[in-house]
Structure 1
Amino acid sequence: MKSKELSVDLRDRIVSRHKSGEGYRKISAALKVPMSTVASIIHKWKKFETTRTLPRAGWPSKLSDRGRRALVREVTKNPMVTLSELPRSSVERGEPSRRTTISAAIHQSGLFGRVARQKPLLSKRHMAARLEFAKRHLKDSQTMRNKADENLLQSTLDLRLGRRFIFQQDNDPKHTAKISKEWLQDNSVNVLEWPSQSSDLNPIEHLWRDLKMAVHRRFPSNLMELERCCKEEWAKLAKVRCAKLVASYLKRLEAVIAAKGASTKY
């Protein structure tokens, strides 16, 4: 008669005790699990880096144990990586690159893809502030775009903007910290007001994603390489892409008004 499988939680506890230095006999006595079972679970964990139940039937995987472990490390290190990006790194290791093979290997290791929350949580206060901001700036959006164009043009001249520019920031804690505010005031920097939780109003958010995806595809191995990749990929961003994002500002304001301050598709 087949014995009942241990729960994943119990298997994880066995591995956790093993990591802390406990021997098989001590783990067996503490958790009331046969020592042979303890040894089997720890052996599987060392081999596959998971305590989940692996498939017992079907065609053998074309992916080697080493390739599977490399995939698990990559996904664990970078949770935002997509299934479409993983085949490239698999090919570089000389492993199979089919999406189905990689997807199955990841699932068998107890890892599953999720869709990240795209929109920030908005309170009634946030929605009211967003709506008021959009209505107030809807008519002068062309002026805002002109100012943006002027500043972008100036930035091509080594950022010699003079004093006629407006600094826009999205209320990130680094920007709103006391020391940051004091510096802006001391240097007479004109700061554009910005409603909280409003990344959909900020066109540059799309560029940040473009940059992250481009840098990730280059697999920088240290901080120096990361910095170099960021600078090089930022320089490659198309001017047309930037212009289209800036031009979308009016539509973003209209979308916020139509949604009565709630989240938009942007």
Structure 2
Amino acid sequence: MGTPIGKELKERVIDAFLNNEKQADIARRFQLPKYSVSKIIIRYNERGHLNNNPKSGRPQKTTINMDRRIKRISENDPWKSASKIIAEIPEVGVSTRTIQRRLVAAKLFSRRPAKKPLISERNRRARLQFAREHLN
């Protein structure tokens, strides 16, 4: 799929068409494929305007700024869970799954700390003493 054609260029294509220029001439002049020129004209004739149709599906509940805030919170503390992020921003009112989706979209994935045995106080002192003895 090629790059999208801007609204300004579409308007110029329609102006040329309304001035009785041939589609092939319009395509050559604006360096567009004939098919693209044809589609622009067909859609203009069907709809009467050049605006895109509204997208299907439910709109996102979070805004771009909220998404940035969610990302920032997660970057500051990568171990923070989605439910704890929600607790920090209660005004959003979204589910944990929504937070998880925003983090995945930002290429931030869940993490879990490695399980390792705790070092006892006695063992800690012994290790420190060993390190000091073998310093040089």
TM-score range, shorter chain: 0.3 to 0.5
Normalization by structure 1: what TM-score?
0.25
Over alpha carbons, which structure has the higher Rg? 2
